[in-house]
Amino acid sequence: MGPGVFSASRTGGSSSTPHASRLTPHHPTRGFTLIELLVVLVIIGITAAMIAINLAPDPRQALETEAQRLALLLQQARDEAMTSGTRIAFSAEKQEFRFWQKPASSAEKAGETARTWEPHADQELYKPRSLAGNIRVEEMRINQQPVDSHVQKIVFTPSGMTLPFRITLSDGALRIAISGNAIGQIEVDKDSSRS
């Protein structure tokens, strides 16, 4: 035997053919198994389905959100009437609503009419607004009586007292109500119902 073979066996090398080391891979093969690919596809499918469900608008949620937004504006108007000494009113017509004001001096005058109301001066917070989507004011009641919502107004006074009211919003299929009592508490009726 030659010196090369003897030294190879001494260092732990193989005494077989000199090309044997080229046939065994030094690194494992890279790639994905079929199971791994299927798991990734299932995860992508579940994620896509969840995104599609979340992107589809929920009509009940949209109606509740709009009712909450309006209730907060009504509460703000009630609070401002008490702190500023100014009467503030709300009126609505189909999909639009607005806030009005009447300074205390003109509110005290005898023979006040609807013409004495002015659009609210704070056009940032109390600007005329439209309800979202196809949501509209279906009915407005003041003191349990149905009223013409664009003519009659819900009035918030400096004393904090107001006539009880109920505003019903509808999207054509569902309804939700915002109610206020005589001492100024305003809340959204969470039990929306079918029209």
Inside any domain, residue 13? no
Residue type, position 86, single letter: T
In a domain, 30, yes or no: no
Q: Which residues pair with 139 in a beta bridge?
A: 168
Count of residues for the chain?
195
Q: Are the CB atoms for 82 and 159 separated by under 8 Å?
A: yes
Specify if 157 maps to a domain. yes
109 occurs within a structural domain: no
Measured CA to CA in angstroms, residue 61 lies from 9, 66, 68, 141, 195 at distances of: 79, 9, 10, 24, 16
Say what the pTM is: 0.65
Range of the structural domain that residue 168 is part of: 59-104+116-189
The reply to whether 10 falls in a domain is: no
Domain count, the chain: 1
Look up residue 109 and give its DSSP letter: S
Per-residue pLDDT of the chain (195 residues; tens, 9 = 90+): 555 544 444 445 555 555 555 555 566 667 778 888 888 999 998 888 888 777 766 778 889 999 999 999 999 999 999 998 889 999 998 889 999 998 655 444 444 554 588 888 887 788 889 998 889 999 999 999 988 866 789 999 999 889 999 999 998 889 999 999 988 899 998 765 665
DSSP secondary structure of 14-58: -SS-TTHHHHS-SSPPP---HHHHHHHHHHHHHHHHHHHHHHS--
CATH code at position 141: 3.55.40.10
